[in-house]
Structure 1
Amino acid sequence: MNFQQLRIIRETVRQNFNLTEASAALYTSQSGVSKHIKDLEDELGVQLFVRKGKRLLGLTEPGQSLLSIVERMLVDAENIKRLAEDFNKVDEGTLTIATTHTQARYVLPPIVNQFKKLFPKVHLILQQASPVEISEMLLQGEADIGIATESLTTEENLASIPYYQWQHSIITPQNHPLVQADKITLELLAEYPLITYHGGFTGRSKIDKAFDEAQLDADIVMSALDADVIKTYVELGMGVGIVNDVAYDTERDYRLKQTKTDIFGVNTTWIAVRKGHLLRGYGYEFISLCSPDADIKALKKIAYPDE
């Protein structure tokens, strides 16, 4: 048994049992992948995959039991490498942050700037994705840290801490009738076409819930994945925007008016890591820069409950 065989088992499952895709992902031949699988099955004395001819259809019961062990062994192998790197090259390496457009565009720039000054030799990768994709990237080991409002607290294999709280803002052209309103209400918003986030992004569920509980039909004419798109179409006069309050830039958005509101409640953006994933020291420094009051010891305790 060797680590390459274990990587092949994991990648085959990730690629939905398509050996062509698995071999491409691992930069090896399909025949080599098949041989490694067969060799491991022969060594263990059990069949790991359900087959139909040469095609793999799924995992057998032993294969399903083995997969969780394989995942854990490969994570531990990566942790050993990171541990050695922490001792040998304290301030060098790669840090991958998976986050949404809102965080990457409006929240993280000063944090990234400060981090790069502290760790100039660390290659920082900022991956923009949906909250569900961010969660999956953490679980698959494709990201070290995830930052998002949704999805990170519902996955049992992720350890998360609160980053910051925020509310939605109403965005309109400067000459819009809502600018003159004494107070923004759900009833008032229901009178206008609305432009806001796509489902699963940036507190959209709370927007829907607020209108539902008030028994009002929101006329959401357009949904987008990021605030910049929303503001662009608001500026064109296509509707009233509802965005994260941090997504309004007073200098760049001077043609638009921001009205803060609490009618959609308070949202929390979270920082998460995968449980059992050994984060390099500079990774925890990044988290501390994001949230100086973050309890790093508590996060480590959640991430490594057996230590």
Structure 2
Amino acid sequence: MNLHQLRFVREAVRQNFNLTEAAKALFTSQPGVSKAIIELEEELGVDIFARHGKRIRGLTEPGRAVLVSVELIMQEIDGLKRIGKEYAAQDSGSFTIATTHTQARYILPKVVQAFMQKYPKVRLSLLQGNPKQIAEMVMRDQADIAIATEAIAGIDGLVSLPCYQWEHVVVVPPEHPLLKLKQITLEEIAHYPLITYDAAFAGRSKIDHAFEIRDLKPDVLLEAIDADVIKTYVELGMGVGIIAGMAFDAERDTHLKAIPVGHLFGMNVSRVAIRRGAYLRSYIYTFIELLTPTINRKLIDQVMQGNKDTYDL
């Protein structure tokens, strides 16, 4: 048994059991991958993969148990490599953040700027996606951390910490009738076409739930992943926008007015998520501390060790 065999098994699963794609991803040959997997199966005395002819169709029952062990072993190997790299170069390396557009556009710029001033030799990458996608990026070691709203909490294999709270705002053109109300209500909002987030983003589920429990069916004219897109169509007079409060800047958005609606849709919590058991380089701790000053390295370590109730907003 060797590490190459374990890598081949893991990559075959990641490539949806396509050995040709697995070989490409690992810069080797398809026959070599196939042979190594068969040799591992012979050594273990069980079939890891279910086959139809020469094609792999999926994992067998013992194969699923083998995959769990393979993932654990490869995580430990990756951790050892990272330890070596960090001690060889404390202030340089690579750091990948998976996040949503809202976080990347409105929250992270100042944090990234402060981080790069501290660690100019670190190569920083931002990957964007919806909460499910960015969680998978961390689970697959494509990213070191994920930053999003509540949707990344409670995912098996990840630990997460709350960073900050925020509320939605309704955005409308100046002189809009909603601005004349002392207290805006769901019923009033539902009178107008709505322009808001796609279902996977920025607390959209809370918006939908609030209308549902009041038995209201608003006309959602347009859904987007980008608050700037939402604001553009609101400026054109096509409807009322609902966006994250952080995405409204009174100095920039001079053609719009914002109405806080946390009392209607509740407060949202953005979180930072890390793969359970991951080895964190010192500059990753620093980035998280810059993102959320109330979190420190000791607290992160406690949560990583399974003490889930040590911190909340």
| TM-score using structure 2 length | 0.94
Equivalence for 1:155: 155
Q: 2:78 & 2:119 partners in 1: Cα distance? A: 22
Q: Is the 8 A contact 2:130 2:201 kept in 1?
A: yes
1:254 partnered with 2:281: no
Q: Secondary structure at the match of 1:126?
A: strand
Identity %: 51
Structure 2: give runs of 5+ residues left out of the alignment.
308-313
Equivalence for 2:212: 212
Q: 1:122 & 1:28 partners in 2: Cα distance? A: 30
Equivalence for 1:285: 286
Q: Secondary structure at the match of 2:160?
A: strand
The 4+ residue runs of structure 1 with deviation greater than 3 A are none
User: Displacement, 1:175?
Assistant: 3.2
Q: Is the 8 A contact 2:75 2:278 kept in 1?
A: yes
Equivalence for 1:300: 301
1:144-171 deviation digits (Å, cap 9, x = unpaired)? 1110003221213111110000000011
Q: 1:217 & 1:65 partners in 2: Cα distance? A: 46
Equivalence for 1:137: 137
User: Displacement, 1:295?
Assistant: 4.1
Q: 1:79 & 1:152 partners in 2: Cα distance? A: 23
User: Displacement, 1:134?
Assistant: 1.1
Structure 1: give runs of 5+ residues left out of the alignment.
none
Equivalence for 1:99: 99
Q: Is the 8 A contact 2:150 2:268 kept in 1?
A: no
Equivalence for 2:27: 27
User: Displacement, 1:140?
Assistant: 1.1
Aligned amino acid, residue 44 of structure 1: L
Aligned amino acid, residue 106 of structure 2: Y
User: Displacement, 1:110?
Assistant: 0.3
Equivalence for 1:51: 51
Equivalence for 2:310: none
1:273 partnered with 2:300: no
Aligned amino acid, residue 33 of structure 2: V
Identify which range, 258-267 or 88-97, moves more after superposition: 258-267
Q: Is the 8 A contact 2:145 2:272 kept in 1?
A: yes
Q: Is the 8 A contact 1:159 1:299 kept in 2?
A: no
Q: Is the 8 A contact 1:150 1:200 kept in 2?
A: no
1:216-227 alignment to 2 at 5 Å?
216-227=216-227
1:11-40 deviation digits (Å, cap 9, x = unpaired)? 111111111221222222211211111121
Equivalence for 2:87: 87
Q: 1:128 & 1:44 partners in 2: Cα distance? A: 40
1:37-70 deviation digits (Å, cap 9, x = unpaired)? 1121222222211111100011112211110110
Q: 2:143 & 2:167 partners in 1: Cα distance? A: 27
1:71-130 deviation digits (Å, cap 9, x = unpaired)? 011111111011112211000101111010000000010000000000000001111110
Identify which range, 174-183 or 186-195, moves more after superposition: 174-183
Aligned amino acid, residue 9 of structure 1: V
Q: Secondary structure at the match of 1:108?
A: helix
Q: Is the 8 A contact 2:193 2:220 kept in 1?
A: yes
Q: 2:265 & 2:194 partners in 1: Cα distance? A: 14
Q: Is the 8 A contact 1:135 1:151 kept in 2?
A: no
Q: 1:269 & 1:298 partners in 2: Cα distance? A: 17
Q: Secondary structure at the match of 1:151?
A: helix
Aligned amino acid, residue 283 of structure 1: I
1:171-191 deviation digits (Å, cap 9, x = unpaired)? 111232222222211010010
Q: 1:219 & 1:295 partners in 2: Cα distance? A: 44
1:122-201 alignment to 2 at 5 Å?
122-201=122-201
- How many residues matched? 306
